[in-house]
Structure 1
Amino acid sequence: MRPGRSRCAGPDGPAQVIHLITRLTRRQATATVLVTHDRAHLTDADRIAEVHDGRLTLLAGAA
């Protein structure tokens, strides 16, 4: 696999996977931690936190 290429087919593949993870997380009433460098994948997130220089900061969602 070439660097920068998704294993998911098509341009919507990663978004579909994240949507599926979100649905399963809510259906199971559990939590999921998703780590990404692409902020476009954060649209379904209930909470968003960022780590910068070793510090965790809550950017969006309930405290």
Structure 2
Amino acid sequence: MVRQALQADLVDTLTLSSVPVLLGKGIPLFGADIPVSHWHPAQVKTLPSGIVQVSYQREQKG
């Protein structure tokens, strides 16, 4: 559902959580079919578990 919302240009804020576990491999979070957009970090939280949450705000077009 996130991919479809990004493709439709409906998302203004993203919050990504990073878990401090190294897996060695992975898959892309977003596919190549997502249009280019520019974001800036709006808030960063570090939780006691070591998880880091970063909220990004989409930069205005134009």
TM-score, scaled to structure 1 = 0.26
Specify which structure has the bigger relative contact order, considering alpha-carbon pairs within 8 angstroms and separated by 6 or more residues.
Answer: 2
- Please identify which structure carries the higher strand content: 2
TM-score by length of 2: 0.26
Structure with the bigger percentage of helix: 1
